[in-house]
Amino acid sequence: MIIIRYLGKSIKSYLSNYQEVPPCFEGNCPDCDHKLYRHGKYFRSAITKKKITWIPIYRFLCPACGKTFSLLPDFLLPYQIHASAILQRAWTLRFIKKISYAQIQSIISYDETGGISVKTIKRWERFWKQKENDLIDLLNRGLVELSSDSTILYMTKKLSDQQTFLYLLRKLWKILHPDRPYPICGFFPWINQLINKI
């Protein structure tokens, strides 16, 4: 199983902190709530614009139920080799800019990393569509619990699903992180954490 946490803003910062030393993680087992213990690591590739990097992913073991968990940095989505910045760029181009798969491919694909096929972009779109409604529901629930602004739900009726998602995401971010600017250039890592909770 996978646990997703903020472990650095980028692959570079992650490696500078955790290349040889595991993150200090004091979490409990998501299934039985017992303390987790370090249990080795494995390496996986992560693709940024023009570079493929092998990074360590640290594992943790629950001695009570015997399950192992991989601690994944939030800039990587489970089972995806491309960093979230690339996925966010593809999402924005497809759903906000409304451009074709072929145009997206020409914008985000680089020969240095083997390119990105149209099939892969379509697979990302299917993945997003599967999660979209659950994410919108999660954001709505969070805003209903934390906000007294009654116009939020009314405003979203006029928007597409993707516009609704961005609108709700910004609203919830401002409530949960009032002193931090909204990460417009990197909101996919936060989405990744939210998806992990669904």
List the domain boundaries for the chain. Answer: 2-73, 84-197
pLDDT digits (tens, 9 = 90+) for 48-106: 888 999 999 999 999 999 999 999 999 998 888 999 889 989 998 998 889 999 999 99
C-alpha span between 162 and 95 (Å, rounded) = 7
Does pTM surpass 0.85?
no
Helix, strand and coil in the chain, % to nearest 5: 45, 20, 35
Instruction: Give residue-wise pLDDT tens across range 45-64.
Output: 999 888 999 999 999 999 99
- Who's near 64: CB < 8 A, 6+ residues apart? 29, 32, 34
Q: Give tens-digit pLDDT for 116-154.
A: 999 999 999 998 888 888 888 888 888 878 776 655 655
